[in-house]
């Protein structure tokens, strides 16, 4: 272990367009010796890495792909998380700074939250900096030209995997609601919107800001469709639409 510990950056890279990176994120990415990124188990693909790849210096930082399992099995989860934390700690304890990149904002439904928490638990002296990024709700609101809140309006934010009653309550009690993780439950979402008379008030964005971004203003057309994981829905009750 080096005398000097490296610093962990939980760094948001925005929703998809490299232009939406902050100047701070850009500077850190050009200086950091280790770039850790979340990758898919099978393909090894990483959306977050694809956003920043063109901005990295040559030969660039060590790339450390971290697999986050999509399982609910607590033992498997714990084992994988411990392994991930150990890989990051190995670099930090050797005095090397690590930037862990996540799409959007690192403190919004992100693996960065758990990684930071776990490292702080295991190694209380670890230094961490959270580098904010443009969140997908922020990016999507801009692309859809929907003002998320004006005056005294309120905004709800909820992952669509939550139970249907919870989603109904959030919709009922806010002027605007942003649903994340809608891809797998789109049909149920459309049923819920129809029941509440809000189908015409919804819009959907897939891979906001990426070259293959898609925008859907008629959500009925999405029934039965296979959608990308990176899909969100904004429902606005009033306002101009
Ligand atoms: C685990 S959350 C990550 C949120 C992210 N930390 C943020 O700040 O936007 C993943 C969900 O965020 C939404 N999401 C993230 N990036 C997106 C994008 N570029 N376009 C559309 N939705 C996106 C999708 O609903 C996706 O299922």
Compute, in angstroms, the gap from residue 1 CA to the centroid of ligand 1: 36
Sequence-distant (6+) residues with CB within 8 A of 117 are: none
Q: Exposure of 109 by Cβ count < 10 A (0-12 exposed, 13-18 middle, 19+ buried)?
A: middle
Pairing mode of beta strands 7-12, 127-131: parallel
Ligand 1 atom having least distance to the Cα of 138: 9
Compute, in angstroms, the gap from residue 125 CA to the centroid of ligand 1: 31
Which domains are present in the chain?
7-131 (3.40.1010.10), 136-236 (3.30.950.10)
Query: Which of 50, 103, 110 gets mutated to test ligand 1 (max ligand atoms within 8 A of its CB)?
Result: 103
Query: From CA 174, how far away is CA 163, in angstroms rounded?
Result: 17
pLDDT digits 0-9 by tens, 10-61 = 999 999 999 999 999 999 999 999 999 998 776 778 999 999 999 999 999 9
**What three-state secondary structure class fits 6?**
coil
Instruction: Give the pLDDT of residue 142.
Output: 97
Q: Are 123 and 31 in contact (CB under 8 A)?
A: no
Whole-structure pTM value: 0.94
Q: Whose CA is nearest to atom 27 of ligand 1?
A: 181
Query: From CA 138, how far away is CA 146, in angstroms rounded?
Result: 10
Compute, in angstroms, the gap from residue 196 CA to the centroid of ligand 1: 25
State the average pLDDT for the chain: 94
pLDDT digits 0-9 by tens, 22-35 = 999 999 999 999 99
Higher pLDDT, 162 or 135: 135
Q: Whose CA is nearest to atom 14 of ligand 1?
A: 230
∠ CA 61-62-65 to the nearest 5 degrees? 120
Compute, in angstroms, the gap from residue 93 CA to the centroid of ligand 1: 31
Compute, in angstroms, the gap from residue 5 CA to the centroid of ligand 1: 32
HSE (side-chain half, CA atoms, 13 Å) at 42: 1
pLDDT digits 0-9 by tens, 171-203 = 999 999 999 999 999 999 999 999 999 999 999
HSE (side-chain half, CA atoms, 13 Å) at 29: 27
């Amino acid at each position: 272990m080096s005398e000097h510990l490296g610093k962990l950056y939980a760094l948001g890279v925005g929703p998809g367009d490299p232009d939406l990176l902050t100047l701070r994120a850009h500077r850190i990415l050009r200086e950091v010796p280790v770039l850790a990124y979340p990758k898919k188990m099978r393909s090894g693909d990483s959306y977050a890495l694809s956003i920043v790849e063109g901005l990295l210096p040559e030969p660039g930082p060590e790339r450390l792909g971290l697999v986050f399992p999509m399982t609910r099995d607590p033992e498997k989860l714990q084992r994988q998380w411990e392994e991930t934390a150990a890989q990051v700690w190995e670099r930090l304890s050797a005095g090397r700074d690590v930037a862990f990149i996540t799409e959007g904002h690192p403190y919004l439904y992100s693996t960065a939250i758990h990684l930071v928490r776990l490292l702080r638990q295991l190694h209380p002296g670890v230094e961490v900096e959270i580098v904010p990024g443009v969140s997908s709700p922020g990016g999507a609101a801009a692309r859809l030209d929907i003002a998320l809140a004006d005056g005294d309006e309120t905004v709800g934010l909820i992952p669509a995997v939550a139970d249907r009653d919870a989603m109904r309550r959030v919709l009922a009690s806010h002027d605007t609601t942003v649903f994340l993780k809608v891809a797998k439950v789109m049909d149920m979402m459309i049923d819920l919107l129809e029941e509440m008379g809000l189908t015409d008030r919804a819009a959907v964005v897939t891979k906001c800001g990426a070259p293959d971004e898609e925008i859907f203003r008629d959500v009925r057309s999405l029934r039965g469709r296979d959608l990308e994981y990176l899909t969100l829905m904004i429902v606005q009750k009033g306002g101009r639409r």
